[in-house]
Amino acid sequence: MYTDYWGLKEKPFENTPNPRFLYPSQEHREALRKLFYAIGSEKGCALLTGEYGCGKTHLVRTVMSNLVPDKYEVALINYPLLGRDEFLQEIFREFGHESTSNDRAQSFRELSRFFSKNMALNKKNVLIIDEAQIIEDPEVYEELRLLLNLQAEDRFMLNILLVGQPELREQISKYPQLNQRIPIRFHLERFGQQDTVNYIRHRLKVAGADKEMFSEVALYLIYRISEGVPRLINSLCDLSLLEGATREVDVIGEEILKQVV
């Protein structure tokens, strides 16, 4: 492991959604602001899209880490490639319960009672669906619409956050009755050059770095090669730190970058 060589407390460029490493770019701050507003103000549904590797799941984990259990009941579905009946059952499971019936209508009524009970306890129900672009069954979209029809005293009983790649927007547009029920939307763009540099420095600092580890040329090359996609930035930086430690260099430069690409 290269952490000892570089004087780091941990590896800074793991491709796992650790909220501690979230870089607060203007884009990410705006996305979080809208997501927290959608959930806290019970807007019913919000849509977060972005290209593969741009940090959507990282944002989701950050949101979840801030939803305290005594105020929010949260369920996360990571793989929504499900049929209509399976979808309802999966919602039950992710909320930590099992439906007492395989009948869809009965399951829907049980969910409604579950949400009502939480609301009586002053808890907000939140369903997060990641990788939502893989939903294939049109009836699942219809089920989402019906879930958004569950309201009590002018409040949504369930708040839904749909997260996916850009094609999710087009898929949802095919279902106007659902599309009209999504008041808050945000599309996460790739980093520009300065945000790429700041992102790298931010993650290094969180990991315990107290000095520059990449030359200006190396930082520029990382931006050009990754095209500002955080997941690719992480991979390039991780391999560069490993190669740099192996070669016992003081700073990652152009030669190291060309070696790891």
**Average pLDDT of 16-30?**
91
Domain-terminating residue out of 131, 165, 188: 188
Angle at 124 between CA 85 and CA 134, to 5 degrees: 40
Mean of all residue pLDDT scores within the chain: 94
pLDDT exceeds cutoff 90 at 254: yes
Q: Per-residue pLDDT tens for 174-230?
A: 999 999 999 999 999 999 999 999 999 999 999 999 999 999 999 999 999 999 999
In a shared domain, residues 196 and 130: no
Q: At what angle do helices 84-94 and 138-148 cross, to 10 degrees?
A: 50
Report if residue 127 sits inside a domain. yes
In a shared domain, residues 105 and 230: no
In a shared domain, residues 46 and 75: yes
Structural domain including 112 reads 26-188
Q: To 10 degrees, the CA torsion angle through 105, 137, 125, 99?
A: 40
Residue 21 DSSP symbol:
G
In a shared domain, residues 178 and 224: no
Domain-terminating residue out of 188, 221, 252: 188
pLDDT exceeds cutoff 90 at 98: no
In a shared domain, residues 170 and 213: no
Both tokens of 121, joined, read 């306890």
Residue closest to 69 by CA, chosen among 88, 89, 97, 95? 95
What per-residue confidence (pLDDT) applies to 232? 96
What per-residue confidence (pLDDT) applies to 197? 98
In a shared domain, residues 157 and 226: no
Pairing between strand 72-77 and 155-156?
A: unpaired
Residues 6+ away with beta carbon under 8 Å from 25: 191, 195, 198, 199
In a shared domain, residues 164 and 136: yes
Q: What CATH number did the domain enclosing 250 receive? A: 1.10.8.60
> Looking at the 3D structure of the chain, how many domains does it have?
2
Q: Per-residue pLDDT tens for 139-159?
A: 999 999 999 999 987 889 999
What per-residue confidence (pLDDT) applies to 105? 84
Both tokens of 227, joined, read 């095209």
What per-residue confidence (pLDDT) applies to 99? 75
Q: Residue with structure tokens 């190396």? A: 218
In a shared domain, residues 148 and 163: yes
Q: What CATH number did the domain enclosing 101 receive? A: 3.40.50.300
SS3 at position 33? helix
Report if residue 5 sits inside a domain. no
In a shared domain, residues 181 and 234: no
Residue closest to 49 by CA, chosen among 148, 182, 222, 159? 182
